[in-house]
Structure 1
């Protein structure tokens, strides 16, 4: 692992332990050159996923990008970080278990929408407004109508 401070490639693991949810391993590392300390996380990856964008462009799947987009939708919402992480891990597992390396961007968006709907309705509407490219107020009304009809 390369040191983030001096780019030295020789670092030592000082401590390893599973994260609270058990989905990754937290490693405390120290650089042998500069003495800098940093933490890395190691996750199991079942397959190399490639996202096929609407334009046809293909990019490697990035869990961090998925996390950032979910966190933007959930900004200032009272949702525990553990629940968010469980949702994201669940989405990644679903994608990996599809059996395909190529994943349509729309499939990822649909899974995020499904997860946010149960996690937080406000975040669901926020994400939907970007994902579905809302242009008018009636677009919001339509999604709110869907939510209300499901809750009745």
Structure 2
């Protein structure tokens, strides 16, 4: 680790401690060249896969965009924000667990549908009707049936 004061390439670790509930390591360092001390943090960096859109374009995964999409489906529904954040986190965990560098947006959409079905059937139907481009009343009836039966991955 390079010293931020004198830019020496050699620094010594004086102390290491677990931080952030075990998700980081805090290290106190000392530069033998200038004698100054400083703190560094070591954290796990997990990369989420890139998202391949329907048209083939690639984009970075954006949790804020995912949350906003879910919030739109859940608008005026009695679902606590903590549950929404938990659902977004579940989707992120599933994407990381895939171990893929790229994931099709359709897979993310299916994960969203699963989380919304668990949270609120009305939000599930709202999202599914847009996701599956539902235009006929019969298709809405099918969505309602699937929402109440716990299915919802075909159209």
**TM-score normalised to the size of structure 2?**
0.67
Name the counterpart of 1:92: 92
Structure 2: which 5+ residue stretches go unaligned?
1-19, 24-42
For residues 143 and 118 of structure 2, the distance between their equivalents in structure 1, rounded to whole angstroms, comes to 14
Q: CA RMSD in A?
A: 2.3
Closer/same/farther in 2, CA of residues 134 and 45 from structure 1, 3 Å limit: farther
- 1:101-134 CA deviation, whole Å, 9 max, x = no partner? 1010000000000000010000000000111111
Consecutive aligned runs of 4 or more in structure 1 exceeding 6 Å deviation: none
Are the aligned partners of 2:48 and 2:92 in contact in 1 as well (CA < 8 Å)? Answer: no
Partner of 2:126: 126
Shift of 1:136: 1.2
Query: What's 2:61 paired with?
Result: 61
Helix, strand or coil at the partner of 2:135: coil
Gaps of 5+ in 1: 1-17, 25-42
Whether 1:79 aligns to 2:79 is: yes
Alignment length (residue pairs):
113
Match of 1:33 in 2: none
